[in-house]
């Protein structure tokens, strides 16, 4: 499956010292701790001058990417340390249908001054496939699905 142009998923490299595991930090201009509340379906966002680098530190959620008129669903969780990089101009959203909040780090890379529209939610152009979201959340489908 081809992800939206420029969207990347990479497993984090790590080093172990004693019992402690250290994961590769992400270079950024700004680091945000983000909480996605339980049972939440967020609106879409598209950033004009910002790259998001998302990594879940507690819980799980489904990242939704809009690409070529179709949604791509990416399951992210705290058990498999991965970073998803979302470049500018890629519409994306978050779905957390779990009973617990999801905490993630967004290591933001700025490509210019923030644009007011960067943080203005957009309505999803068509309904999400909640059967697919349920399958991904329950592990009954591969973690990345188009």
CATH number at residue 118: 2.60.120.10
Residue 41 located in a structural domain:
yes
Closest Cα to residue 81, out of 53, 108, 109, 101? 53
Give the best-scoring range by mean pLDDT among 14-18, 62-66, 111-115: 62-66
Strand, coil or helix: 80: coil
- The fraction of the chain above a pLDDT of 70, given in percent, is 92
Instruction: Give yes or no for residue 3 having a pLDDT over 80.
Output: no
Instruction: Give yes or no for residue 145 having a pLDDT over 70.
Output: no
Q: Which domain holds residue 113?
A: 8-145
Residue 137's pLDDT is 86
Residue 3 located in a structural domain:
no
Tens of pLDDT along 87-138?
999 999 999 999 999 999 999 999 988 888 777 888 889 999 999 999 998 8
pLDDT band at residue 141, thresholds of 50, 70 and 90? low
Residue 1's pLDDT is 45
Residue 53 located in a structural domain:
yes
Residue 2 located in a structural domain:
no
Residue 34 located in a structural domain:
yes
Distance between CA atoms of residues 68 and 41, nearest Å: 21
Residue 13's pLDDT is 85
The domain tally of the chain equals: 1
Instruction: Give yes or no for residue 27 having a pLDDT over 70.
Output: yes
Average pLDDT of every residue of the chain: 90
Between 143 and 14, the higher pLDDT residue: 14
Residue 131 located in a structural domain:
yes
Contact indicator for 80, 52 with CB cutoff of 8 Å: no
Residue 13 located in a structural domain:
yes
- The fraction of the chain above a pLDDT of 90, given in percent, is 69
Distance between CA atoms of residues 128 and 70, nearest Å: 10
pTM value > 0.85: yes
Residue 1 located in a structural domain:
no
């Amino acid at each position: 499956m081809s992800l939206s142009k420029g969207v990347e998923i990479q497993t984090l490299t790590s080093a172990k010292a004693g019992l402690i595991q250290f994961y590769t930090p992400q270079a950024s201009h700004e680091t945000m701790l983000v909480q996605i509340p339980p049972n939440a379906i967020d609106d879409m966002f598209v950033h004009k001058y910002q790259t998001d680098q998302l990594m879940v530190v507690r819980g799980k959620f489904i990242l939704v990417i809009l690409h070529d008129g179709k949604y791509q669903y990416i399951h992210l969780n705290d058990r498999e340390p991965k970073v998803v990089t979302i470049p500018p101009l890629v519409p994306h959203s978050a779905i957390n249908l779990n009973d617990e909040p999801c905490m993630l780090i967004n290591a933001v890379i700025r490509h210019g001054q923030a644009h007011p529209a960067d943080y203005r939610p957009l309505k999803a152009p068509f309904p999400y496939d909640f059967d697919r979201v349920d399958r991904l959340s329950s592990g009954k489908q591969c973690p990345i699905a188009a």
